[in-house]
Amino acid sequence: MSLENWGWDERWAERAAEGGIDSSSVARVVGQDRSSWSVQTDSGSERARLPSKSGVNVSPVVGDWVVAEPGPMPSDPWSIRSVFPRRTALSRGAAGTGVGEQILAANVDKVWIVHGLDMPLNPRRLERYLAVVWDSGANPEIILSKTDLAEDMAATKSQVQLAAMGAPIRWVSSEDPESIKNLRATLTSGSTVSLLGPSGVGKSTLVNLLAGEAIAETGAVRDGDRKGRHTTVRREIFRIPGGALLLDTPGIRELRVGVLDDGLKEAFADVESIAESCRFRDCRHESEPGCAVLDAVDQGNLDPGRLASFRKLQAEAAHEVRKADPIARAAAVSDWKTAMKTMKHHPKYKDRR
């Protein structure tokens, strides 16, 4: 199995060359447990760990490319020495009073925001997910699943289009092979697609249908409220025929936003554009005179629910900014040069050169 099968490309190879890293010491994290990782190396699948006092720049997550080495004993797991700077990082706000963001996945090219149509469409939830995904640097797509159980497709279509803000919208059902075929046609070899959504919406079912075999565990939803039972418990990348990499994730109870920078602007491009006509540049669209956004709501050109959603996410993101420790945040943005230095000075690494 070569690294290309797991998403390695020329740009990554250039990065490695800059650091003087040989491809035999590169691996991709494809699974994560409490304190160990599953990685794919040039020579196959391995377990890996973070050695104590490793000095590793950031904690590896699924999707990360890492520098790792085997041994010392053949039965030992590999040791992770360094994490490549991430191209994209899917992060959410910490739960409770926790400080700092939690990185869910790295180096994801596309995120499928999955929404089950066995429940009424929830545009507010879509907006929240879209803001988070845009902010990650990955491209969002909205996957409306379980169309066989959908009630009012016409109304759903217009609602979802409003929320999508240009993100592609796709419709699938496990009962409709054609819909799976169409979705498969959007996948490309070596690109990483993460599935994201609440429990029970059919993420793992979709992975299995696209793979053509049952590789991910699925579980029935509860009878009463159609909620899932949190069947998937770990994040894992599956390579499917055709070469696409699908990252299945556990259902999310409540997606907290992190420090949204551009995500909010992308997800609410309509509000942003109307706001350019507000009299005051720092207008908060609450009760300011000459507020173009409030005018748009009055005139029926902007859904008040959407504006409320924008405000709520903006407030949450601002709260995250205040909570965030600026030093920790700066450190989380991995600095390649520092990482390389740390690694090269690692006694073990030196010995091997």
| C-beta atoms surrounding 282 within 10 Å | 6
Report the alpha-carbon distance of residue 190 to residue 176 in Å, rounded.
Answer: 26
**249 is a site residue for Mg ion (CB under 5 A):** no
**83 is a site residue for Zn ion (CB under 5 A):** no
* Closer residue to ligand GTP in complex, CB, 232/314: 232
* Residue 278 binding target from Zn ion, Mg ion, ligand GTP, none, CB below 5 to 8 Å by type: Zn ion
Report the alpha-carbon distance of residue 312 to residue 285 in Å, rounded.
Answer: 12
Sequence-separated (6 or more) residues with CB below 8 Å from residue 300: none
* Residue 200 binding target from ligand GTP, Zn ion, Mg ion, none, CB below 5 to 8 Å by type: ligand GTP
Q: Would you say 116 and 147 are in contact if contact means Cβ atoms under 8 Å apart?
A: no
* Residue 32 binding target from ligand GTP, Mg ion, Zn ion, none, CB below 5 to 8 Å by type: none
Pairing of strands 169-171, 139-145: parallel
Backbone Cα Rg of the chain: 22
Q: Please report the beta strands in the chain, taking only residues with DSSP state E, as ranges in sequence order.
A: 26-32, 37-41, 44-49, 65-69, 78-83, 89-93, 101-106, 110-116, 139-145, 169-171, 192-196, 236-239, 245-248
**232 is a site residue for Mg ion (CB under 5 A):** yes
**310 is a site residue for Zn ion (CB under 5 A):** no
Binding-site string for Mg ion from residue 190 to residue 229, where x marks contact by CB under 5 A and - marks none: -------------xx-------------------------
**194 is a site residue for ligand GTP (CB under 6 A):** no
**146 is a site residue for ligand GTP (CB under 6 A):** yes
* Closer residue to ligand GTP in complex, CB, 87/125: 125
**291 is a site residue for Zn ion (CB under 5 A):** yes
Report the alpha-carbon distance of residue 296 to residue 286 in Å, rounded.
Answer: 13
Q: Would you say 277 and 301 are in contact if contact means Cβ atoms under 8 Å apart?
A: no
Q: Which residue is nearest to ligand GTP (CB)?
A: 251
Number of C-alpha atoms within 13 angstroms, CB side, residue 194? 30
Helices 336-344 and 10-18, packing angle to 10 deg? 50
**210 is a site residue for ligand GTP (CB under 6 A):** no
> Residues in contact with ligand GTP, total (CB under 6 A)?
25
Report the alpha-carbon distance of residue 134 to residue 132 in Å, rounded.
Answer: 6
* Residue 285 binding target from Mg ion, Zn ion, ligand GTP, none, CB below 5 to 8 Å by type: Zn ion
* Residue 202 binding target from ligand GTP, Zn ion, Mg ion, none, CB below 5 to 8 Å by type: ligand GTP
Q: How far is the CB of 200 from Mg ion (least distance, A)?
A: 8
**315 is a site residue for ligand GTP (CB under 6 A):** no
Q: Would you say 250 and 201 are in contact if contact means Cβ atoms under 8 Å apart?
A: no
**94 is a site residue for Zn ion (CB under 5 A):** no
* Closer residue to Zn ion in complex, CB, 234/279: 279
Q: Tokens in use for 84?
A: 């490549």
Residues that bind ligand GTP (CB under 6 A): 145-146, 148-149, 173-175, 199-205, 218-221, 228-232, 250-251
| Residue ranges that bind Zn ion, judged by CB under 5 A | 278, 283, 285, 291, 293
- Residues forming contacts to Mg ion in the complex (CB under 5 A) are 203-204, 231-232
